[in-house]
A and B are shown apart, each in its own frame.
Chain A
């Protein structure tokens, strides 16, 4: 009967979780033979609440039915909501979990279903839906230790290779040349050595101080005085035959082209080579021609409908000539003699400039030698205008005679190409 009473009393316990309920019931059963033990069990747990007391009297017994709500409240303190990080495992005890405040967890850290605290006192089950997925916006990286940049000059630490492709090509407008050290005007010899006595082993790298150079004999002037008879002798050569041209044995003075102009003899020869026409005529080369071979583009012929006088043509050829002299100055970068300059200027006048005859320009600049220069020079004898090839051959030959022999007199008169009616 007592057992029944106790079971009756303890029936609400069934409302609790089965695990702990079973533990409590077992403990009650163990002590159920003694009503005082049961009473103590109930009263020792201050959280238990007496819900109902029922007293019945029958058969000489008073049956006391006490309905007690067993609770864990006294044993298991309800912790206030705390961030998970602050819950120490020692604080977590078995009990009813009312709430757990879970801070936003990074997705990768969260266990999918359970969080197990060690030692295992409680198992908190979380629904993964309840765990907020927090987007990580910013990660603050602590400042990294600075790299020490120490380059020791005595030790090769790195080799930097520059790729030429990475170097931008920049137009160089100005080059500033630092002032050069002054050259000592006086050269002295200590001791005076004859060139033949110098040995290579005596010459050391460094500053050469004194060498006395004896005055050179004035050979140049003597040779220049001998020029006129040589030129007279050349006049006996058969005119125009290139194979028989002899190279003179003296060297004429060469000058920088920047200050040179076509000589008067050059003008005379050019006028002969071009011929003169007081009227417009056609060479079927895309335009018209007048005066000393002045090219008039199609459509501009009406300006010259009245023709051109000899004086006008002389004036005009001198106006045009600086353009072709400038071509020589632009392309030639070596000093020239007057006859070389004249020949090149006359060639430029005929070709219309040197941009299309760089082979000749480069022959001159590289001192290519007579044979190669003559070969390249004589190539310019083809023309799309019919019937002028022979004329071009003569012209090239006359220019070469000027260059090689200073011969400005190719035994021809100025051809009058047209006669005014």
Chain B
């Protein structure tokens, strides 16, 4: 009887163990994939947005770079980034965040990684370190960065892609 109980215990534990290890591998791969420079090649508007056209053009020319120690985003450089990664249904992600379909955002995969980046910055005035938060999505090839309600679709900055203007 004891033998069957221990076997049952192993069978119960094994699936959870596998899931956890898969998640760790996924998270590591996602962060490794992010660690490079990106550049926007298209954009889309959310229902309410806050960027002017000239700002969108300026952002499109700017690189977004992830390194181990820093993240260079549109609004400045942040330090000591920590990534919270959640795998979400792509269609739901587009609908919940932008009231639109994933197709409109140009997402072709079924799921995307929603990555919340927690980082810190130093205020030049008072030297106080502030915690910052940014959200990006990653579909395995492109990242989607939302800046003031405008969704920028970014590719590897070194890859040659034909830029496309939205709308």
Contacts and interface: CB of A to CB of B under 8 A. Distances in A.
Interface stretch (A85-93, A138-146, A167-175, A179-187): A167-175
A169 B33 CA distance: 12
A166 B83 CA distance: 18
Nearest to A366: B130
Given A169-B28, A357-B149, A358-B134, A384 B99 contact: no
B131 A333 contact: yes
A169 B97 CA distance: 28
Size range of the chain A interface in the assembly: 35 or more
Contacts of B148: 356-357, 359, 376, 379-380
Chain A interface secondary structure, helix, strand, loop or mixed? loop
Interface residues of B, number: 37
Contacts of A350: 48
A171 B85 contact: yes
Contacts of B49: 356, 380, 382-383
B32 A169 contact: yes
Contacts of B121: 366
Nearest to A378: B50
Residue with the highest number of chain A CB atoms closer than 10 Å, among B28, B48, B132: B48
B99 A287 contact: yes
Nearest to A347: B48
A351 B47 CA distance: 8
A356 B9 CA distance: 45
Contact of B97 (A164, A171, A353, A384): A353
B45 interface: yes
A71 B52 CA distance: 119
Interface in A379-394: 379-385, 392
Residue with the highest number of chain B CB atoms closer than 10 Å, among A367, A379, A392: A379
A380 B150 CA distance: 10
Interface in B79-97: 83, 85, 95-97
A145 B146 CA distance: 63
Interface of A: 164, 168-171, 285-287, 295, 297, 331, 333, 350-353, 355-359, 361-362, 365-367, 376, 379-385, 392
Interface of B: 23-24, 27-28, 31-32, 45-51, 68, 75, 83, 85, 95-100, 121, 123, 128, 130-135, 146-149, 151
Closest 8 CB pairs of A and B: A379-B50, A366-B130, A356-B146, A380-B50, A355-B135, A171-B27, A169-B31, A356-B149
